[in-house]
Homo-oligomer: A and B are copies of this chain.
Amino acid sequence: MHRILNVHLVPEMANPHDLAGHTSVVIDVLRASTTITTALNAGAEAIVPCLTVEEARQLAGAKSGSLLGGERGGVRVQGFDFGNSPAEYSSDRVRAKTIIFTTTNGTKALTRCMGAGRVLLAALVNRAAVCSAIAEDPRVDLICAGTDGEFSFDDAVTAGAIVDNLVIRGEEWQLSDAARICRCAWQSAVGSEGDRTRIVTALENSSGGRNLIALGMEGDLKLASQLDQLNVVPELDRSTWQIRK
């Protein structure tokens, strides 16, 4: 039997009704899903995603010992412990901590998946781990977070990296048209070997990548491009609204 593999190119194209009961994977490679994966790998206990700065401050006030992370316009919010650069989330700072994390695009994508069977987060750094976690599922929906409602190439090429890996594993997948174009993007911009230099170039050529370069954060593109390096699959527990390993 063919498994079904869909990609939703922006969150608005994912119908919550269609996701119900199946596996949803949210992709916001520059930078929320990369940063969350990095923080959990460094020993953070949980990440609490939220939409607004105000909500983040309220939650942090209610939970003693928690830390605040996130950005607006690419820059750390004033008074927050962390911005949205994966480099900031080192073991010595995050181990055993709960991090209240505000990310607009990623949180919007997560809210589409309230009825899904399970909700995972994927980036390039944990691509292989995510693929292993979903390889047996009958239906998987990859949801590209995009940027402010706009399609973004960086998330689509990451979705393509996942599609490519799942297909190469030899299982029979029925690809949606969007899954097909994302795989084309990965094959054309990077290639199945996953050449690191080409991944960086693909991210540089995306709208999200250009924004980071303009902010002097091109180092984050190199961190985000480290394909298959982290064996962590972040999963959203919707009953507690926490992301954990």
Contact = CB atoms under 8 A, between A and B. Distances in A.
A12 B10 CA distance: 11
Nearest to A150: B177
Nearest to A152: B177
Contacts of A176: 207
A231 to B, nearest CB: 29
Interface string A177-212: 110111011011100000000000000011100000
A189 B178 contact: no
A144 B205 CA distance: 22
Copies of this chain present in the complex amount to 2
A151 interface: yes
A180 B10 CA distance: 16
Contacts of A101: none
A207 B12 CA distance: 20
Contacts of A180: 153, 185, 205-206
A9 interface: yes
A13 B156 CA distance: 16
B13 A177 contact: no
A82 B78 CA distance: 64
A62 to B, nearest CB: 38
Interface of A: 9-10, 12-13, 150-154, 156-157, 176-178, 180-182, 184-185, 187-189, 205-207
